[in-house]
Amino acid sequence: MAVILTFAKTVTGSNAADALAGGSIGLDLGQVVNGAYSPIQVQANNTGKQQVFLFHDAVVDPITNVVTYVSQYTGVYGGANSAASDITTLGNYGAADAGATKNNADGLSRGLHIDMDWQVADVNQFDYSREATGQKRIYGKSYTGKTGLSLANGFDLHADACSYWNGLSEVDATAPVTGKIGRSVDTVLGNRGHFMKRFYLHTSSSDGGVLQYDYVTAFSFTS
């Protein structure tokens, strides 16, 4: 029996269904300008991010080996170039990221960034120091060979992204494990993967228009 994974914008929501350029649905991170990031609130305060929640309907065992990666867009393309060129651009952005400031104050950050600590304070979220802990990753940047550009090179869901929704509030899983999301009643592993995403543009970026890609979550399960 297949396990169904939900990719939501809220802790109990349905699959993200933003209207995308071209006519497909998915997750829209919004408009970003050079030297900033999206979603953005107050750049000087490092505020603004897209929340993502992962949960599943398995009733016996947790899902394991949870990784995320990006690949060529398979929806109805509505970008500025082509699906093939967009995924190349996204990978190149990550590989060339030279930023050192979490809010892109130096104008050198670029590409798709993920922060996998659902409890991180705004002042610390997306900080480059968090790459050393595995909490932050940039798609296209190599971390001991893993770039987040394929299933084989996917980024593990960090243990700090695991939370438990008790029906009233979100609390920390008591003993979370990297790459695992428990079933609905699992307070130990947690029943949610909860992380944040941003898209950055460097100050001298010359690319314009809409950039589209598939954001993939892969996992193992016991049927």
pLDDT tens figures, 13-55: 999 999 999 999 999 999 999 999 999 999 999 999 999 999 9
Distance CA 212, CA 86 (A): 6
End-to-end CA distance of the chain: 5
* Positions of the chain with pLDDT under 50: none
Residue listed under structure tokens 């599943």: 56
Phi, psi of 161 (to 5 degrees): -90, -5
Average pLDDT, the chain: 97
What residues does each domain of the chain span? 5-220
Distance CA 140, CA 200 (A): 13
User: Around Cβ 163, how many Cβ atoms within 10 Å?
Assistant: 23
Q: Assess whether the previous peptide bond of 176 is cis (omega < 30° from 0).
A: no
